[in-house]
Chain A
Amino acid sequence: MPTAKEHETYARQHFDEAEKMKQTQKLRWGTVAYFYSAMHMVQAALPSVPGLTTAQQSPEAHKGPDGTSTIVLRHITHLYPFYDSLFSSSYKVRYRGGAIANAEIERHRHIDLPPIGQWVCAQTHPADCDCWMRAM
Chain B
Amino acid sequence: MSSAVADRKVAWNFERTVTDAFASARVAWTDLSADESLLEAMVVLQDPNDWDVRLAILQAKGEFELANDVRVICMFQSPDDDGIPA
Contacts and interface: CB of A to CB of B under 8 A. Distances in A.
A2 interface: no
Nearest to B86: A99
A109 to B, nearest CB: 12
A82 B83 CA distance: 23
Contact of B84 (A74, A99, A111): A99
A85 B58 contact: yes
B75 interface: yes
Contact of A69 (B37, B71, B77): B71
Interface string A84-104: 110111011100111111111
A89 B59 contact: no
A96 B37 CA distance: 19
Q: Name the prevailing secondary structure of the B interface residues.
A: mixed
Interface residues of B, number: 29
Contacts, number: 70
Interface string B11-55: 000000000000000000000000001101010000011010011
B82 A99 contact: yes
Q: Name the prevailing secondary structure of the A interface residues.
A: helix
Interface residues of A, number: 30
Interface of B: 37-38, 40, 42, 48-49, 51, 54-56, 58-59, 61-62, 65-66, 71, 73-78, 81-86
22 contacts: A63-B38, A69-B71, A73-B62, A74-B66, A81-B56, A81-B58, A84-B61, A85-B55, A85-B58, A88-B58, A89-B75, A91-B75, A92-B75, A92-B76, A97-B83, A99-B82, A99-B83, A99-B84, A99-B85, A100-B85, A107-B49, A111-B51
Sorted nearest first, the 9 A-B pairs with minimum C-beta distance are: A81-B58, A81-B55, A92-B75, A99-B86, A80-B62, A84-B58, A81-B59, A73-B62, A63-B71
